[in-house]
């Protein structure tokens, strides 16, 4: 059992590293040579690089560090470690790939669309395995946590992500080049479509349905670990007999932490579904 967990953990870290290398290859070898940039905090790092001439990898790392620290307190140390591993792989990849002569002999539009798809694939691998190399998602989580703690309501992170990235593209538009901002917007659209498909609407709210006989311990762990509450429904299994069905709403990044909580409680059975809208 422990061996399986170790192998699974190693596999997830390997996927995070592969995803980060795919993303860095896309940015260094396809997007930047075709006048487009990455989005999120990586985009901010690239803007700083273009305006100041500082080392690209260093700019990306410096912009991401504050968000990793914030992610440690909001999403836990497991997330923070994967974020650090992904960021190291991404920045090392940028440093290596920007020195490799690579030319995609095609039109800007096609190159940027392909680069955005490759970037989306890399980010999907990272997100699917509980990592992150973009501080905008961490920023959205921190902001949503504060809103949820204050209002008791769950919201999608999409408006925050869109707003954050629109500010990045406005900065590119006014500080660098208008064509670059439009090409970068295309990167964002293509990449998010790929991510959305692969991660099942990662920006949306997730409904987790848990069936258990030890509901008190599980509810306590969810309250302590995620500061979330549950709806409790009396239920009965054809074989297992009397039990409780718990319904909990979390975002994509909190889902990784909730999975860890559920796995620690033997006998619990759970399903996850995407919620398009909550009407109050």
- Overall average pLDDT of the 90-102 stretch: 89
Portion of the chain with pLDDT greater than 70, in percent: 99
Residues 139-194 have pLDDT tens digits of: 888 888 788 777 777 777 888 888 899 999 999 999 888 888 888 999 999 998 89
Contact between 74 and 141 under an 8 Å Cβ cutoff? The reply is: yes
User: What is the C-alpha to C-alpha distance for residues 44 and 48, in angstroms, rounded to an integer?
Assistant: 6
> Which of these ranges, 45-49, 75-79, 85-89, 165-169, has the smallest mean pLDDT?
75-79
Per the structure, the complete domain to which residue 185 belongs is given by 2-199
Whether 43 is in a domain gets the answer yes
Helix %, strand %, coil % of the chain (to 5): 70, 10, 20
Report the predicted TM-score, pTM, of the whole model to 2 decimal places: 0.84
Mean pLDDT of the chain: 86
> Same domain, yes or no, for 8 and 136?
yes
- 72 & 158 share domain: yes
Tell me the three state secondary structure of residue 236.
Answer: strand
Residues 58 and 85 in one domain: yes
Residue 115 lies in a domain: yes
Judge if 176 and 211 occupy the same domain: no
Task: Look at residue 199 in the predicted model and tell me its pLDDT.
Answer: 81
In a domain, 108, yes or no: yes
d(CA 57, CA 231): 46
Q: Given a cut of 60, is residue 1 above it in pLDDT? A: no
């Amino acid at each position: 059992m422990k061996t399986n967990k170790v192998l699974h953990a190693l596999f997830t870290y390997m996927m995070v590293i592969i995803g980060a290398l795919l993303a860095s290859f896309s940015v260094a070898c396809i997007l930047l040579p075709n006048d487009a940039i990455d989005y999120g905090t990586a985009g901010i790092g690239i803007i700083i690089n273009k305006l100041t001439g500082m080392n690209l990898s260093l700019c990306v790392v410096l912009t991401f560090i504050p968000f990793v620290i914030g992610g440690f307190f909001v999403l836990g140390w497991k997330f923070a470690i994967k974020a650090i591993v992904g960021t190291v792989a991404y920045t090392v990849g940028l440093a290596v790939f920007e020195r490799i002569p690579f030319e995609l002999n095609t039109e800007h539009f096609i190159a940027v669309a392909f680069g955005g798809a490759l970037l989306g694939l890399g980010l999907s691998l990272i997100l699917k395995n509980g990592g992150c190399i973009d501080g905008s998602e961490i920023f959205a989580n921190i902001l949503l946590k504060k809103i949820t703690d204050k209002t008791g309501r769950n919201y999608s992170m999409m408006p925050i992500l869109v707003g954050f990235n629109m500010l990045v593209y406005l900065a590119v538009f006014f500080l660098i080049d208008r064509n670059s901002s439009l090409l970068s917007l295309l990167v964002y659209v293509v990449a998010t479509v790929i991510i959305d498909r692969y991660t099942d609407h990662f920006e949306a709210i997730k409904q987790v349905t848990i069936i258990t006989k030890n509901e008190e311990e599980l509810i306590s762990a969810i309250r302590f670990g995620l500061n979330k509450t549950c709806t409790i429904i009396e239920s009965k299994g054809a074989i297992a007999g009397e039990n409780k069905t718990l319904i909990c709403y979390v975002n994509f990044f909190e889902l990784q932490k909730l999975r860890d909580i559920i796995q620690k409680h033997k006998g619990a059975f759970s399903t996850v579904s995407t919620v398009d809208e909550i009407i109050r």
